[in-house]
Structure 1
Amino acid sequence: MTTLLLNLRQVPDDEAEDVRHLLEQHQIPFYETTPSLWGISSGGIWLNNPEDRERARALMEDYQQQRARQQREAFEQARRDGTAPTLWQRLRHQPLRALGVLIAVLVLLLVTLAPFLALGKGG
């Protein structure tokens, strides 16, 4: 039975490539599924043999700890250099996404508070 090792949803290309290389380097057979056209499934890296699951998970845990450490160091360096993106820069870079999130939050607040607002008018 195959085992999903890595769901590729929101995984950067360089990280997916590192995982492929890691599995090949340790001679762990795997295959990859691609994301669906409509975004329903995100694709993944799957192990062929269930016997490789524990070894692959141990390798992934080590890799993810190392990657997290490297990414934190890179972010801290960018922050010291003043090149780390600020919230305002991110909002300006993706204005439609920011607007969509704002609208979704407002709708959720309205739906959540509507019953309480209706109670005050019932009298």
Structure 2
Amino acid sequence: MSVLIFRLNGVEDDEAADVRRLLDERGLTYHETSGGFLGFGIAGLWLLDASQKTTARALIDRYQEERSARLVAEYVTRWRAGQAETTLQRAIRQPLRTLFYLAGAAAVLYLVLVPFLTLGNQS
């Protein structure tokens, strides 16, 4: 029976390609599913042989630890060189997206607080 070994929802393309390559190099048999037309399904890599799960999991875990360390080191290097993008710089670069997110947050805050603010105003 197939066993889900790696979810692809929200995973960057290069990471997914690296995981596929690792599984191929080790000769682990798997198949890939997509999230479906509306994205409600499980996009992932499924091992065809459940007995290979511990080997595959260890391989993927080690890869993700190495990837995380590499990405952190790259970010620190960019940050020290003054090339890392800050939240303010991103907001300036994408003003419409920023305004949309702020309006959404304000709407949620309003909807949450209105019942409490109008509690004493009942007639």
With over 3 angstroms needed to count, the CA separation of the structure-2 counterparts of 1:102 and 1:7, relative to structure 1, is: same
Match of 1:26 in 2: 26
| Cα distance in 2, alignment partners of residues 18 and 115 from structure 1 | 50
| Cα distance in 1, alignment partners of residues 92 and 2 from structure 2 | 43
Cα-to-partner distance string for 1:52-96 (whole Å, 9 max, x where unaligned)? 111111111111111100000000001011111111222234334
The 3-state SS of whatever aligns with 1:32 is: strand
With over 3 angstroms needed to count, the CA separation of the structure-2 counterparts of 1:4 and 1:107, relative to structure 1, is: same
RMSD, matched Cα: 1.8
| Cα distance in 2, alignment partners of residues 8 and 78 from structure 1 | 27
Gaps of 5+ in 2: none
Gaps of 5+ in 1: none
TM-score, length-scaled by structure 1: 0.88
Match of 2:13 in 1: 13
TM-score, length-scaled by structure 2: 0.88
Aligned residues: 123
